[in-house]
Amino acid sequence: MDIEPGRNAAITSVVRPSDETGGTLRLARTDDFDSLDPGNTYYAYTWNFLRFIGRTLVTFDTAPGKAGQRLVPDLAESLGESSDGGRTWTYRLREGLRFEDGSPVTAADVKYAIARSNYGSDVLGSGPMYFRHLLGTDYQGPWREPDVDGPVTLETPDERTLVFRLQRPFAALDLLATMPNTTPVPRSADTGADYRLRPVSTGPYLIAHYEPGKQAVLEPNPHWDPATDPVRKRRASRITVTLGVAPHEVDEMLLDGRAHVDLAGFGVQPSTQERILADPVLRSRTDNPLTGFTWIYCMSSRIPPFDNIHCRRAVQYATDKAAMQKAYGGPIGGDIATTILPPTLDGYEPFDRYPVGEDGTGDLEAARAELAAAGMPDGFRTKIAARKDRLKEYRAAEALAAGLARVGIEAEVLDFPSGDYFESYGGCPAYLREHGIGIIMFGWGADFPDGYGFLQQILDGRAIKPRGNQNMGELDDPEINELLDEGAACSDPVRRAQIWHRIDRLAMEHAVIVPYLYPRSLLYRAPETRNVLVTGSFGMYDYVAMGAS
Ligand code: ARG
């Protein structure tokens, strides 16, 4: 019999390592992929999954924990070479790279991929836009045929060389080069909005069948050459993904063996958690890692009474973080947070600017002192934006409101659909202002595992937008903005980490964000899975490393 490695083993080691090949790896998911188009996706699990199909200039090592954030040249022969103070970056492609039809991969295919994902905000606008800003190809408007030649600031002096000429220095270009939008796309195969149905493979598998919302099947790509690939091994001979399954049914499938992994990587449902944790054998097959997100809520510094810093600080102190943690299932659901940066990133250093007491329930005396300083000793009224379709978040908002009521802050919890949350409600400052919504529930993970990738979108004053806004505190602090620019240009990892930590402290001083939980997931690894590890790059099982017996 298989000796079951213990609980949490895949967080620090490779569980059931094996070089066995063959078998079918079966994944299941409640929803569909956001998009299998490498130029149009944002969800971490999709990026993780896309490593089966597409190769990027640079990728993450397949290793547990922090080591999974290590950068490895993928299509490129080596990590990027920078010159010109970090403004110019050169990548040289490996020899012998081929698309699934056997045709060679050229630098122009990578350039085209980056170009197409930089245009057409309404068709291919769902991925991060860092390249667009850095390459100076900002274009907002209706979709248009991508410029065949791509941005002139991305040069291809020969078939294997790609030169990025950035508008300003960016030291972490290798991290951006891990993003799926550096996956080569042959121009002749680009079907625009439909490309997601059949992206052309450069990885170990190709898409044999994909019916959105129902099923995807991957089969070996005959033109993937393992000799050119430093991270991927083709273990399973087939991969199936069952999509559109009810949440509890996904859990049932895991427990009865119909599925090996829940693709979403968020972990099992609360009732399944209880059942698993009560059974020593099932329990030994679980991992409870930090996901790399921080659950936070924001107070808009431009919406009364939160334009007064003392009101924001009163809320910081009056927050019952212990009750909010309970809404997520207690310690299994995460650790109480006191910093914006999660513990999984360089630059995280523990500190607690607004301690809420040993038991985490709040410091009401400190809160009352802040209310007095604000000239509102009896409290005030406000509203909280939350999403009931993210039930735990909604329950956390209710726990927040109950905590605040203890000092006379009356906060009404409002429910909004998560689909339009950023476009029309929480991410729309005018809407919040008009409705007097001062508190916005939120959760954030790094776009790429780095302080810049975590902090820039939520704290840069220049990132405040009328719609899709993620700097919900509407903080525009010149010192923070400058530090973000300095960190972006800084290539010394030690100094970089110091900068991210400094920004974390400054933002907490402004009190616009209340971090309350570093969430954890309860992941179940089916006994048939091989080579299971939780990667620090995506905070879930590393799919491309995995096999099945
Ligand atoms: N920053 C985004 C969020 O918090 C994405 C985070 C995870 N996705 C990713 N591709 N790394 O929703």
Amino acid at 252: E
* Rounded Cα–Cα distance for residues 195 and 393 (Å): 34
Phi and psi (nearest 5°) for 144?
-140, 160
493: DSSP letter: H
123 within 8 A of 193, measured Cβ to Cβ: yes
Pocket flag, ligand 1, residue 444 (CB < 6 Å): yes
The CA 447 to ligand 1 mean position distance, Å, reads: 5
Q: Which amino acid is at 372?
A: A
DSSP structure class, residue 182: G
Q: How many residues would you count in the chain? A: 549
- Hey, which of 295, 422, 447, 518 would you mutate to test ligand 1's pocket, going by the most ligand atoms within 8 Å of its Cβ? 447
Task: Report which of 163, 202, 156 is spatially closest to residue 180, judged by C-alpha positions.
Answer: 202
- Between CA 17 and CA 388 the distance in angstroms is 41
Q: Which structure tokens are listed for 417? A: 């659909």
18 Cα to the center of ligand 1, angstroms: 31
Which two tokens mark 531? 């080579």
Question: Can you tell me which atom of ligand 1 is nearest the CA of 443?
Answer: 4
- C-alpha 208/C-alpha 221 separation (Å) is 10
- Cβ–Cβ under 8 Å, residues 505 and 492: no
How many CB atoms sit inside 10 A of residue 358's CB? 7
**Nearest Cα residue to 120 out of 104, 144, 99:** 144
pTM value?
0.94
Q: Is 442 in the pocket of ligand 1 (CB under 6 A)?
A: no
What does the pLDDT profile of the chain (549 residues) look like in tens digits?
344 558 999 999 999 999 999 999 999 999 899 999 999 999 999 999 999 999 999 999 999 999 999 999 999 999 999 999 999 999 999 999 999 999 999 999 999 999 888 765 566 778 888 888 888 765 555 555 555 556 668 899 999 999 999 999 999 999 999 999 999 999 999 998 899 999 999 999 999 999 999 999 999 999 999 999 999 999 999 999 999 999 999 999 999 999 999 999 999 998 999 999 999 999 999 999 999 999 999 999 999 999 999 999 999 999 999 999 999 999 999 999 999 999 999 999 999 999 999 999 999 999 999 999 999 999 999 999 999 988 999 999 999 999 999 999 999 999 999 889 999 999 999 999 999 999 999 999 999 999 999 999 999 999 999 999 999 999 999 999 999 999 999 999 999 999 999 999 999 999 999 999 999 999 999 999 999 999 999 999 999 999 998
Which amino acid, 187? R
112 DSSP assignment: H
Give bridge partners of residue 515 from the DSSP assignment.
296
Q: Among the residues of 319-441, which ranges form H helices?
A: 321-327, 364-373, 391-405, 421-424, 429-434
Q: Name the residue among 109, 86, 264 with its Cα closest to residue 176.
A: 86
Q: Please report the beta strands in 400-498, taking only residues with DSSP state E, as ranges in sequence order.
A: 410-415, 437-445
Burial code (b: 16+ CB inside 10 Å, e: under 16) for 65-98 equals: beebbebbbbbbeebbebeeebbbbbbbbbeebb
Q: Give CA–CA dist 303/196, Å, rounded.
A: 40
Asked if ipTM goes beyond 0.85, one says yes
Which class for 220: exposed (0-12), middle (13-18), buried (19 or more C-beta within 10 A)?
middle
What is the C-alpha separation between 240 and 96, in angstroms, rounded? 28
Residues 226, 218: contact at Cβ < 8 Å? no
Using an 8 Å Cβ cutoff, are 219 and 62 in contact? no
Ligand 1 near 447 CB (within 6 A): yes
Pairing of β 161-165 and β 88-92: antiparallel
- Supply the pLDDT for residue 3: 46
Report residue 311 as tokens.
Answer: 């009101």
Cis peptide bond upstream of 280, omega within 30:
no
Neighbour tally for 163: CB within 10 Å: 19
Write down all domains in the chain, each with its CATH number in brackets: 9-53+196-288+524-548 (3.40.190.10), 68-188 (3.40.190.10), 293-519 (3.10.105.10)
Atom of ligand 1 nearest to the CA of 46: 10
Question: Which tokens hold the place of 42?
Answer: 């944002």
Name the residue with the closest Cα to ligand 1, atom 5.
Answer: 447
**Other C-beta atoms lying within 10 Å of the C-beta of residue 462:** 11
Atom 6 of ligand 1 has which residue's CA nearest to it?
Answer: 445
Residue 113 Cα distances to 141, 274, 512, angstroms: 19, 45, 38
Q: At 18, list the tokens.
A: 């094996």
Atom 8 of ligand 1, nearest CA residue: 44
Give the β-pairing of 286-287 and 261-262.
unpaired
472 forms bridges with which residues in the sheet?
none
In the numeric block, the tokens 């903005």 are attached to: 481
